[in-house]
Amino acid sequence: MGKIKYCLLLLLKKIKGIPGAIKKAYKYEKFKKFAKVGKDLSLSVLSDCDADTPGCIEIGNGCEIFGRLESQSGGKIRIGDNTAIYNKSVVGSVESISIGNCVIISNHVHIYDNNNHPVDPEIRMEMCKKGFKGEDWRWKNSASSPVVIEDGVWIGEYSAILKGVTIGKGSVVGCHSVVTKDVPPYSVVAGNPARVVKELKK
């Protein structure tokens, strides 16, 4: 390979990486705007963070956040150290979500401390008639209850963790599970609704 061709390939490789690097830098600044960020935070171009009130989101040291964190109406999100939240997962709070240390949250996981919308069909019909934006669509208008995910938990892909749930230390949530009730420590749960299918050694 000639020197000129080799230099061109190196240049193209560098140029290819620039847009991704710019996006990551922008994401990091956005996270710093809305969250208290610990050391060594790793982000991707898919990472996102949003809050009505800056400071409601706290991220510990050594975390990878490749999903979306959203706080509405002062909802708290607390993430411990060395925790990973992977692609297209969403953590949404209007009250309180606490995620411990060394937690693995796989791709496409949804964790909400609220129902997003009211359960009453008449209220939802009125919301739709008024249009699909505005105060009626805010999470504060739905039922909510805190979520706690303790240290060492692993949540499999496409799972949903619903309001009011505590997932005990060291537990595993199987892929595609819908967790509606508390999970005991060191348990494996699976299904919709999720049930204990195995106990783990402590």
Say how far apart CA 66 and CA 154 lie, in whole Å. 16
Of 202, 200, 103, nearest to 161 by C-alpha is: 103
- Measured at the alpha carbon of residue 87, what is the angle toward residues 81 and 88, in degrees to the nearest 5? 115
Which two structure tokens, joined as six digits, stand for 11? 């240049």
Which two structure tokens, joined as six digits, stand for 105? 């949250």
117 noted as active-site residue: yes
**Are the C-beta atoms of residues 43 and 28 closer than 8 Å to each other?**
yes
Which two structure tokens, joined as six digits, stand for 2? 């000639």
DSSP assignment of 166-192 equals EE-TT-EE-TT-EE-S-B-TTEEEETT
Catalytically active residues, by annotation? 117
